[in-house]
């Protein structure tokens, strides 16, 4: 009898110990989870402020560039990319800043891209109708890249409906959504492979009738924007502008076989739209922000911003593939 009572007491003690251990483990997990959530939120807020500061810094550079006047070209301060650097490097300039171990493990990089160095998809459709000269530019670009013209025609037609559905008999529910970014051109009927091929050469700006900047555009875009010139002419313009930027489009007339092409109002030497990219690496996490800004005089306004987490493994694969 006594042996049975001792066995029962031992079993109860073991159960008590198991329950206490379970409750302790649950409490410890809850505490760990709370710390992790707080740390993640703290890192998110800090990243947000740092990337906002990077955007303000880029806007300041663009504002100061506007004060100096002249053409926009790739030799200006805004066009120099910021290579990845420790955040503590920037804080070192502040004499009042104290040493921060976390800043030593935080890296910031970024760049400013002239969006008028690309063909603007919004130029194709204006007030519900197709703008033939702009469409002809995309015909030349599609032909140069070996892309199907049928997809271009489908995109132009859908873009016309999306730009002003009131001019057509079709209902609003039948019209495609107006894309804001190149990745969204699939909404207008382009295949994913075509969108990927177009990515380095086109953009979507919030207004039409924008000009291509001869001082910043790649040869393929210049070739598409200027009917009557060859790709070799466009490549010659890129080589010449790297030595001496063009003040006005007419400065480039001596370097092309058809100088009359430079009389087109589709090209210029100044820009108003820029994309600001900032990337923050904090420990194992990486966050990237893209912003479109519009410069009117010395005023630089943000049109849109998007922020997301970057997969470092995807970046490694892209680097290995040479992208």
CB 110 within 8 A of CB 279: yes
In degrees, to the nearest 5, what angle opens at C-alpha 107 toward C-alphas 104 and 109?
A: 150
Residue 313 in this model has a pLDDT that exceeds 60: no
224 neighbors 80 (Cβ within 8 angstroms): no
Instruction: Say which residue, 143 or 322, is predicted with more confidence.
Output: 143
Based on its alpha-carbon atoms, the radius of gyration of the chain, rounded to whole angstroms, reads: 28
Q: How confident is the model at residue 5 (pLDDT cuts 50, 70, 90)?
A: low
pLDDT of residue 323: 44
What residue ranges do the domains of the chain occupy? 40-114+272-320, 119-268
Contact 215, 74 (CB under 8 A): yes
Q: Helix 132-145 crosses helix 149-163 at what angle (to 10 degrees)?
A: 150
Please, which pLDDT band fits residue 160 given cuts at 50, 70 and 90? Answer: confident
- Asked if 192 and 147 count as a contact pair (C-beta separation under 8 A), the reply is no
| 294-311 average pLDDT score | 87
Reported as a single tens digit per residue, the pLDDT across 36-45 is 666 666 666 7
Least confident residue range of 33-37, 98-102, 118-122, 266-270: 98-102
Q: What is the pLDDT of residues 236-261, one digit of tens each?
A: 999 999 999 999 999 999 999 888 88
If one compares 145 and 101, the residue with the highest pLDDT of the two is 145
Phi, psi of 54 (to 5 degrees): -65, -40
Secondary structure (3-state) at 212: strand
pLDDT score at 95: 53
From its phi and psi, is residue 161 left (phi > 0), alpha (psi between -120 and 50) or beta? Answer: alpha
CATH placement of domain 40-114+272-320:
3.30.1300.30
Q: Cα–Cα distance between 7 and 237 in angstroms, integer? A: 94
Q: Which two tokens stand for residue 18?
A: 């198991």
Q: Tokens representing 104?
A: 């030593």
Q: Is pLDDT of 285 > 90?
A: no
Considering the chain, what is the average pLDDT of its residues? Answer: 83
Question: Reduced to 3 states, what is the DSSP secondary structure of residue 14?
Answer: helix
318 pLDDT above the threshold of 50:
no
């Amino acid at each position: 009898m006594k042996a049975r009572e001792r066995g029962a007491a031992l079993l109860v003690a073991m159960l008590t110990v198991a329950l206490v251990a379970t409750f302790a483990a649950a409490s410890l997990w809850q505490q760990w989870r709370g710390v992790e959530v707080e740390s993640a939120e703290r890192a998110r807020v800090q990243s947000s402020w740092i990337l906002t500061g990077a955007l303000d810094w880029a806007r300041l550079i663009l504002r100061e560039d506007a004060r100096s006047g002249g053409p926009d070209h790739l030799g200006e301060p805004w066009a120099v990319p910021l290579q990845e650097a420790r955040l503590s490097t920037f804080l070192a300039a502040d004499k009042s800043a104290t040493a921060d171990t976390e800043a030593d493990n935080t890296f910031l990089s970024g760049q400013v891209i002239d969006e008028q160095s690309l063909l603007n998809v919004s130029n194709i459709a204006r007030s519900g109708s197709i703008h033939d000269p702009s469409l002809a530019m995309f015909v030349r670009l599609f032909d140069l890249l070996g892309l199907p013209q049928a997809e271009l025609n489908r995109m132009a037609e859908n873009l016309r409906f999306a730009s002003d559905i009131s001019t057509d008999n079709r209902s609003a529910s039948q019209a495609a959504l107006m894309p804001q970014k190149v990745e969204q051109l699939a909404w207008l009927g382009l295949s994913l492979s075509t969108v990927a091929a177009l990515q380095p050469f086109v953009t979507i700006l919030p207004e039409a009738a924008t000009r291509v900047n001869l001082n910043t555009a790649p040869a393929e875009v210049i070739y598409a924007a200027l009917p009557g010139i060859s790709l070799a002419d466009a490549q010659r313009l890129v080589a010449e502008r790297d030595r001496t930027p063009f003040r006005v489009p007419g400065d480039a007339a001596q370097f092309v076989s058809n100088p009359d092409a430079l009389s087109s109002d589709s090209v210029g030497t100044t820009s108003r739209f820029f994309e600001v990219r900032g990337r923050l690496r904090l420990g194992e996490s990486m966050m990237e922000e893209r912003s479109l800004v519009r410069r009117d005089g010395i005023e630089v306004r943000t049109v849109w911003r998007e922020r997301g987490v970057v997969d470092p493994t995807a970046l490694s694969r892209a680097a290995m593939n040479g992208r």
